[in-house]
Amino acid sequence: MKARYLVYTSLFIAIAIVLAQIVKILPIGTPGAVLLPMHIPILLCGFICGKKYGLLAGMLTPFVAFLISGMPIIFPVGLSMMFELATYGFVAGYTYKNLKLNPYVSLLVSMLIGRMVYGVAAAILYGFSNFDFGFQMFIQAAFIIALPGILIQLLIIIPLVKAIEKFQTQNQLPQVNA
């Protein structure tokens, strides 16, 4: 079972990296910051594979993407993303699998806590690079610019979770309990 979820986690990491590369070619300014392509697979990983695997996927994805494509720039953007995505994956898995919260509640909690962690990490890391990352910039980046991505997450993540769980049940695949 552990091997199965490592494979799933690797698949979610690969999907996140491919989605980021696809979104990058869209003719909009900062398409990654607008559509949040890495967030969806990491949240799915937490929901499907559990908190440990979600955390692992969130930590590794920005770093692996940087090694493959040079984006996101590892400091301070990539490191901030590593904290944010790891939080998404962990909290999604913990609230859904361990606390057994409603999936929509788990998603909202994950998104809010992840954004708060991003804000703290960005404020600290950007501070080391002499870039002022204040509250207004946090709100702008985490909620206003990202609104289309947030809406996409709210619309598709839970139906995808339900579809994957239904597939697992129909094919008698084990599900993570913790």
What tens digit of pLDDT does each residue of 53-106 get?
A: 999 999 999 999 999 999 999 999 999 999 999 999 999 999 999 999 999 999
Are 48 and 107 in contact, with CB atoms under 8 Å apart? no
Q: What is the pTM of this model?
A: 0.93
CATH 1.20.120.1760 for domain 2-170: no
Mean of pLDDT values over 148-167: 95
Tell me the domain boundaries of the chain: 2-170
**What CA–CA distance (Å, rounded) separates 61 from 93?**
17
**What CA–CA distance (Å, rounded) separates 22 from 25?**
6
Contacts by residues 159-163 (CB-CB < 8 Å, ≥ 24 positions apart): 160/44, 161/44, 161/47, 161/48, 161/96, 161/103, 162/103
Question: Radius of gyration of the chain from Cα atoms?
Answer: 16
What would the pLDDT profile of 90-99 be if each residue is shown by its tens digit? 999 999 999 9
Q: Which two tokens stand for residue 28?
A: 């909009």
